[in-house]
Chains A and B, each alone.
Chain A
């Protein structure tokens, strides 16, 4: 079973800065079937990125994804106050469609 490890566990930044979140897979993720989600307290997750680098509908272009194989990155440019949340990656190439443990992005 592929394990997804996200780092850092917590990232403290200020609005206007750039956030770089990492998701590392224990084995290669086929066809870059890797997604990123944002979750705020009391809400369901929201799809941000699919196919490692494609933005979902309505997602601002300050969110970008990159990577392939075992190493993936979510970058958020010019952080807005509403971007502070928990972010998860998920593989969806083969079952089990596991999630990473999450990165909490908090205001510094």
Chain B
């Protein structure tokens, strides 16, 4: 069965970076791209970016351009999302989600930014 397993919750200080992983299993990894979506506490869903897993091409939300990088390691079927220059506004649950529209989602990773 399809599974997306994300890395554990993170606590970061303002200005730091975070890198969240998403390991896929149960399907041919390079057949489907991956999105990252985040959700601040009590807020809606925000699309962050996309990676085409077979060639590494990416698309990012304008609001995060320059701070976010999505990469993939096809040897381990893992997608990574790195966010730099963290502020308290980046406190959120971060999800990876397969393909468009996303049909399978990771369990979510809570990133808390606090001094």
Contact = CB atoms under 8 A, between A and B. Distances in A.
B44 interface: yes
B44 A96 contact: no
Interface residues of A, number: 23
A102 B44 contact: yes
B108 A44 contact: yes
A50 B47 contact: no
A92 B105 contact: no
B105 A35 contact: no
A90 interface: yes
A88 B50 contact: no
Interface stretch (B66-74, B83-91, B94-102): B94-102
Contacts of B35: 97
B44 A101 contact: yes
Contacts, number: 51
Contact of A44 (B59, B101, B105): B105
B107 interface: yes
A50 B99 CA distance: 12
Interface in A16-43: 33, 35, 37, 39
Nearest to B101: A35
Interface of B: 35, 37, 44-47, 50, 59, 61-62, 95, 97, 100-103, 105-108
13 contacts: A1-B62, A33-B101, A37-B45, A44-B108, A45-B45, A45-B102, A47-B103, A57-B103, A92-B101, A95-B50, A99-B44, A99-B45, A99-B47
Task: Give 9 nearest A-B pairs by CB, closest first.
Answer: A35-B101, A44-B105, A95-B59, A92-B100, A99-B45, A102-B44, A97-B47, A50-B101, A101-B44
